[in-house]
Amino acid sequence: MVELILGRVLEFVAEPFGPEPGEAARLHGGVAIADGRILALGSAADLGRDFAGARVTDLGDALILPGFVDAHMHYPQTGMIASWGKRLIDWLETYTFPEEMRFGDADYARAQADLTLDLALAHGTTTLSSFCTIHPESVDAFFGAAEARGMAVVAGKTCMDRNAPEGLRDNARRAYDESAALLGRWHGAGRARYAITPRFSPTSSPEQLEALGALWAEHPDCLMQTHLSEQVDEVDWVRGLYPSARDYLDTYEAHGLLGSRGLYGHAIHLEPRERDRLAEVGGGLVHCPTSNTFIGSGLFEMGARLAEGQRVGLATDTGGGSSFSMLRVMAAAYEIGQLTGRPLHPAELLWLATAGSARILHAEEEIGTMAVGSAADLVALDLGSTPAIAQRSARADDIWEAVFPTIMMGDDRAVAGTWVAGRRVAG
């Protein structure tokens, strides 16, 4: 059955990085959906005429967007999100690794996957790209929970064979074999897509990186996700572990782990050669602003990266990031933009949290878009969800001024509804 969802539907018709970012989008009065897909956009009157007899959901002045796309997170870290007082390496050893040890228990992994995905949906996020743990059970749990909810997700077994506790280490052979088996089971099954997942160079030997690079070469339609240049002490650590590498990126490039379907989380402290190569191959940089400030990693220079032609998305980096909300991520990206001399327009922020993240996941025709034929993964935002937001939004002269207070001050209370493949799942 056709459903008409009425409100202020925001459709991007171009990238919003020109001199007039607001002109990259247009507003419609509603969207028609059926069988999990977007059928049409238009005025309420036109949609009512074209789809007579459709079920109508009238959301008033709510702003209807593609569901948010979180391009880098760790569902096994949900339980220890907002853990106090450590920088990256100590934080991993104190909080992350002990929690990840628990994910060999399939029941625990399923419970945490269910919790994470329900929290994401409550915040309007309909797609996540997640690191799992070294345990195949953790991968099965995440993909299984997403399948039950109809969600498009990306995930992979996190591979580590050094500089991690014994219970979280595999080896090059096991990393290849288990990743290959999981890839065969889940990649392309429904809306699931597999990402080959070395955690980062410090926790993988050259032999393991080589094995995972070989696996990627055998399955080039898969994604590959990892971390890159998150903190300066991490960069120094990599330099010591890989003394012959030209730079951090070269530890991946030399082992077949640099490509257009690569997702490189953080990418803050890049050398000129690294920036040039990432732009040349079209690799995806994932900006994780709430994590970068929470762990004290540094300031991602969005303006400079966009000027270089880098492909960039946004992410929570749960649980290094201290929020499940992509609204909070957008707010932090704006604040970091102010500190680096390039504040982002509301149109740019919304595009990065939807189409931008979808593009680096190579799923821009399916998610992160309001295009006819794409998946009906949607979020509706109440632009007056709290008294403070409502009084500011009421003074707005255009849609961008109206939505900006929600970006800066909104949370799950702002989510009036979330739809996955045309089915309302929250709000």
> Could you tell me if residue 293 is inside a domain?
yes
> Could you tell me if residue 365 is inside a domain?
no
Tokens (6 digits) for 255: 């082992």
Confidence of residue 121 (pLDDT cuts 50, 70, 90): very high
Tokens (6 digits) for 54: 């459709």
What sign has the CA pseudo-torsion 72, 192, 375, 64?
negative
Tokens (6 digits) for 100: 């990840």
Examine the pLDDT at 88 and tell me if it is beyond 90.
no
Residue 39 and residue 172 in one domain: no
Where would I find the H helices in 56-193? 88-91, 97-100, 106-122, 136-149, 172-186
Examine the pLDDT at 86 and tell me if it is beyond 80.
no
Q: pLDDT (tens digit, 9 = 90+) per residue, 371-416?
A: 999 999 999 999 999 999 999 999 999 999 999 999 999 999 999 9
Confidence of residue 297 (pLDDT cuts 50, 70, 90): very high
Contact predicate 337/312, CB 8 Å: no
- Give the pLDDT of residue 329: 98
Measured distance CA(132)–CA(113) in Å, rounded: 10
Q: String of b and e for 402-412 (b: at least 16 CB within 10 Å)?
A: bbbbbbbbbbb
pTM of the model: 0.98
> Could you tell me if residue 179 is inside a domain?
yes
Residue 377 and residue 287 in one domain: no
Last residue of a domain, one of 330, 360, 390: 360
- Give the pLDDT of residue 368: 98
- Give the pLDDT of residue 89: 80
- Give the pLDDT of residue 422: 98
Last residue of a domain, one of 342, 360, 378: 360
389: domain CATH number is 2.30.40.10
User: Percentage of residues in the chain with pLDDT exceeding 90?
Assistant: 97
> Could you tell me if residue 254 is inside a domain?
yes
Task: Sort residue 55 into left (φ over 0), alpha (ψ -120 to 50) or beta.
Answer: beta
> Could you tell me if residue 347 is inside a domain?
yes
> Could you tell me if residue 309 is inside a domain?
yes
- Give the pLDDT of residue 385: 98
Count of structural domains, the chain: 2
Residue 62 and residue 72 in one domain: no
Q: pLDDT (tens digit, 9 = 90+) per residue, 302-331?
A: 999 999 999 999 999 999 999 999 999 999
Residue 52 and residue 30 in one domain: yes
Last residue of a domain, one of 306, 337, 360: 360
Residue 55 and residue 73 in one domain: no
- Give the pLDDT of residue 8: 98
Residue 132 and residue 20 in one domain: no
Residue 14 and residue 130 in one domain: no
Read off the pLDDT of each residue in 273-278 and give the average, rounded to a whole number.
98
Confidence of residue 119 (pLDDT cuts 50, 70, 90): very high
> Could you tell me if residue 237 is inside a domain?
yes
Q: What is the mean pLDDT of the chain?
A: 97
Residue 193 and residue 214 in one domain: yes
> Could you tell me if residue 33 is inside a domain?
yes
Residue 411 and residue 326 in one domain: no
Which residue range is the domain that position 380 belongs to?
Answer: 3-66+370-426
Contact predicate 364/358, CB 8 Å: yes
Residue 304 and residue 416 in one domain: no
Read off the pLDDT of each residue in 83-95 and give the average, rounded to a whole number.
83
Read off the pLDDT of each residue in 95-109 and give the average, rounded to a whole number.
95
Examine the pLDDT at 87 and tell me if it is beyond 90.
no
274: domain CATH number is 3.20.20.140
Residue 344 and residue 391 in one domain: no
Beta strands per DSSP E along 248-398 = 262-266, 284-287, 311-314, 378-381
Q: pLDDT (tens digit, 9 = 90+) per residue, 185-244?
A: 999 999 999 999 999 999 999 999 999 999 999 999 999 999 999 999 999 999 999 999
Residue 31 and residue 89 in one domain: no
Measured distance CA(388)–CA(93) in Å, rounded: 40
Read off the pLDDT of each residue in 155-161 and give the average, rounded to a whole number.
98
